[in-house]
């Protein structure tokens, strides 16, 4: 049976509820804000009916408006006195958020027809979105360009064989997601997927981080600790930015790949370890080989299969698709009045070079969803209106810093500057988050 949530600012006649129920609706009625929030948490509603018997004062109906805005995926129908339709606040809500509206007194028969149409529209919208997601998304990656189709074929091939893989691509293209897709579709899917960002590791602790250490191996080693390679036993170890590893660690990693054994720091006993290694880098690995900064024998050990993740510049047809995907994702998580992108916003989205790739696009859309106060996201919301859309002079480091700064800012906004929660969402320690905030000059009063 279809479920209907009725939010009312006054008591509702039993006869009215019975007429709605007779049209095959399971009616949940409340005039209490707290109970309404509980119902929205515990039940799944496609359609909501807001009964406003008066719009004076406006604060008396604010809780209804807040819930309507918070549940943007629901189809809402409003019934209210005719004079209230002229109120700026309510007319805006009706125009932007409602499937239809009725004026009091309500014709129950006509209302049930409207509610039925709203329910059908909700089903149709959900079916369309699901079909669109299924057509445009594979392995958790969104795109239907030829470049992405080639990547999907590479992921499928890599998932079917149990050999090392090297993934290359610019910052923000989705190398980790590609690695995760390989793992989750391989025979190792039930075992751990352990991520190690080689760029952020403290140089003096890289050996311990990867291989572990025995008690007393060095000053401060008060107990035995297993490394990330052992932690990934049976599964996959993803080495992000592997090009940043120093010569000694490269030598030990090569030995592990050849022998399938490790030695903890301070230990003498070799430990057999069944782990698949997937490595990734945004650097020009060939130049590192020529310069002698990366071992040639290690490169060949890692590069049994090679996948290259394309930039957004190479998959122009996917940019708008990705923008809409991120909009749907983030608008479902936060309170927003935005229904989509304006025509101007879509134009600049398609013209912009996106030097930070998918990560930059995701962060800009997330910030726009958080900050937009209109029915459609504008170029200003994306902070693209003052940019030179055809420029191509930003460095990779600049693009990465800009993208990282924006995701930190968006996370702090979403968590209301709760450092512990923000750090947890970003998968970093609080101290690391503080250091990043200092690095990017991010302060509460700047957001």
How far is CA 122 from its chain centroid? 24
Domains, the chain, in order of start with CATH, read 2-134 (3.40.50.2300), 142-310 (3.40.50.300), 314-446 (1.10.8.60)
DSSP 314: G
Phi-psi region of 429 (alpha: psi -120 to 50; beta: other; left: phi over 0): beta
Kindly give the confidence (pLDDT) of every residue in the chain, 447 residues in length, as a single tens digit, with 9 standing for 90 and above: 899 999 999 988 888 889 999 999 999 999 999 999 899 888 889 999 999 998 888 788 889 988 888 777 789 999 999 999 888 888 888 887 899 999 999 899 999 999 999 999 988 877 766 665 555 678 888 888 888 989 999 999 999 999 999 999 999 999 999 999 999 999 999 999 999 998 877 766 778 888 888 887 777 777 888 899 999 999 999 999 998 888 888 998 999 999 999 888 888 889 999 999 999 999 888 888 888 889 999 999 999 999 999 999 999 889 999 999 899 888 888 777 788 898 889 989 998 999 999 999 999 999 999 888 888 899 989 988 654 444 444 555 566 677 777 788 878 887 878 888 888 888 888 777 877 887 777 876 555
* Cα–Cα distance, 408 to 446 (Å, whole number): 13
Instruction: List 77's β-bridge partners, or say none.
Output: 49, 100
- The answer to whether the pTM exceeds 0.75 is no
* Cα–Cα distance, 32 to 51 (Å, whole number): 13
CB of 279 closer than 8 Å to CB of 197: no
User: 21-26 long-range contacts, Cβ below 8 Å, gap at least 24?
Assistant: 23/112, 23/115, 23/116, 25/1, 25/112, 25/115, 26/1, 26/2
CB of 271 closer than 8 Å to CB of 230: yes
């Amino acid at each position: 049976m279809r479920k209907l949530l009725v939010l009312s600012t006054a008591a509702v006649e039993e006869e009215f509820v019975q007429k709605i129920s007779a049209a095959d609706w399971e009616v949940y009625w409340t005039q209490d804000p707290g109970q309404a929030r509980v119902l929205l948490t515990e039940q799944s509603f496609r359609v909501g009916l807001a009964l406003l018997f008066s719009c004076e004062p406006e604060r008396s109906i604010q809780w209804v408006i807040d819930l309507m805005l918070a549940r943007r995926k629901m189809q809402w129908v409003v019934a209210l006195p005719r004079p209230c339709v002229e109120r700026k606040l309510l007319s805006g809500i009706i125009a932007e958020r409602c499937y239809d509206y009725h004026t009091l007194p309500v014709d129950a028969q006509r209302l049930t027809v409207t509610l039925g149409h709203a329910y059908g529209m909700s089903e149709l919208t959900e079916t369309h979105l699901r079909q669109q997601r299924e057509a445009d998304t594979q392995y958790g990656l969104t795109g239907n360009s030829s470049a992405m189709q080639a990547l999907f074929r590479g992921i499928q091939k890599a998932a079917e064989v149990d050999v090392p893989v090297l993934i290359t691509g610019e910052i923000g293209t989705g190398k980790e997601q590609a690695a995760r897709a390989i793992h989750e579709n391989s025979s190792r899917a039930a075992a751990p997927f352990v991520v190690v960002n080689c760029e952020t590791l403290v140089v003096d602790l890289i050996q311990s981080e990867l291989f572990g250490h025995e008690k007393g191996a060095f000053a401060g080693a008060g107990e035995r600790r297993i490394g990330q390679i052992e932690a990934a036993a049976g599964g996959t170890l993803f080495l992000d930015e592997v090009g940043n590893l120093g010569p000694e660690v490269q030598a030990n990693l090569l030995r592990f790949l050849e022998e399938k054994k490790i030695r903890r720091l301070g230990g003498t006993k070799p430990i057999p370890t069944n782990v698949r290694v997937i490595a990734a880098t945004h650097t020009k690995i060939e130049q590192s080989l020529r310069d002698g900064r990366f071992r040639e024998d290690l490169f060949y050990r890692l590069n049994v299969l090679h996948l290259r993740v394309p930039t957004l510049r190479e998959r122009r047809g996917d940019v708008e698709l990705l923008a809409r995907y991120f909009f749907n994702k983030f608008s479902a998580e936060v309170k927003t009045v935005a229904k989509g992108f304006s025509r101007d916003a879509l134009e600049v989205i398609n013209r912009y070079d996106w030097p930070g790739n998918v990560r930059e696009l995701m962060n800009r859309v997330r910030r726009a969803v958080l900050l937009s106060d209109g029915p459609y996201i504008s170029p200003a919301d994306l902070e693209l209106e003052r940019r030179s859309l055809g420029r191509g002079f930003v460095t990779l480091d600049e693009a990465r810093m800009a993208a990282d700064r924006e995701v930190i800012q968006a996370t702090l906004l979403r968590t209301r500057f709760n450092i512990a929660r923000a750090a947890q969402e970003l998968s970093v320690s609080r101290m690391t988050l503080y250091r990043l905030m200092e690095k990017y000059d991010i302060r509460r009063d700047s957001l």
